[in-house]
């Protein structure tokens, strides 16, 4: 592994750990040239997935887009960055488990909504207000009413 600091191609592994539910190996390395340490991540290569947008266009799936949406939904909520990363991983794993080379964007949005509903109702409402494109307060109120109804049933 080439050192990001000095470019030396020789480094040694100091520590290896499992990450992202065993799907990734995190390695701490030390450059044999400059002695600086850096982290690398090893993951298996996944087949590319195309996202079919609402207008019919296709684009390559980007995990970062899910992370951006989750971070906005969880803003100022008691959730750590690692928990958000784990949630994004779970959503991606669920989508990839279907084994389809193309996934409608709407399916991704619904998967995010399902996970958010389980984890944090405020984050769910924030994401839903953008995803479902609420036109006015009554649509927001209706969604909130459904959440409260399910809470009373439990």
Q: Sketch the domain layout of the chain as residue ranges.
A: 11-43, 50-131
Q: Is the pTM above the cut of 0.75?
A: no
Report the alpha-carbon distance of residue 140 to residue 133 in Å, rounded.
Answer: 10
pLDDT recorded at residue 147 = 78
**CA-based max dimension of the chain:** 64
At residue 131 the predicted structure's pLDDT band, cuts being 50, 70 and 90, is: confident
Alpha-carbon distances, residue 92 vs 30, 53, 76 (angstroms): 32, 17, 24
Place of tokens 């992370």: 67
Q: Could you give the dihedral angle defined by the CA atoms of residues 59, 110, 75 and 25, in that order, rounded to the nearest 10 degrees?
A: -60
Mean pLDDT of 121-147: 83
| DSSP structure class, residue 48 | P
């Amino acid at each position: 592994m080439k050192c990001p600091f000095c470019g030396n191609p020789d480094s040694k592994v100091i520590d290896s750990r499992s990450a992202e539910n065993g799907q990734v190996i995190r390695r701490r390395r030390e450059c044999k040239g400059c002695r600086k340490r850096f982290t690398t991540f090893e993951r298996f290569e996944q087949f590319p997935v195309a996202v079919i947008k609402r207008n019919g266009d296709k684009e390559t799936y980007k995990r970062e887009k899910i992370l951006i949406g989750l971070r906005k939904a969880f803003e100022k909520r008691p959730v750590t960055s690692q928990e958000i990363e784990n949630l994004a991983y779970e959503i991606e794993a669920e989508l990839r488990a279907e084994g389809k080379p193309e996934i409608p964007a709407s399916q991704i949005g619904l998967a995010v909504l399902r996970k958010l509903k389980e984890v944090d109702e405020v984050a769910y409402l924030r994401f839903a207000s953008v995803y479902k494109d609420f036109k006015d307060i009554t649509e927001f109120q209706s969604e909130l009413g459904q959440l409260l109804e399910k809470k009373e049933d439990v």
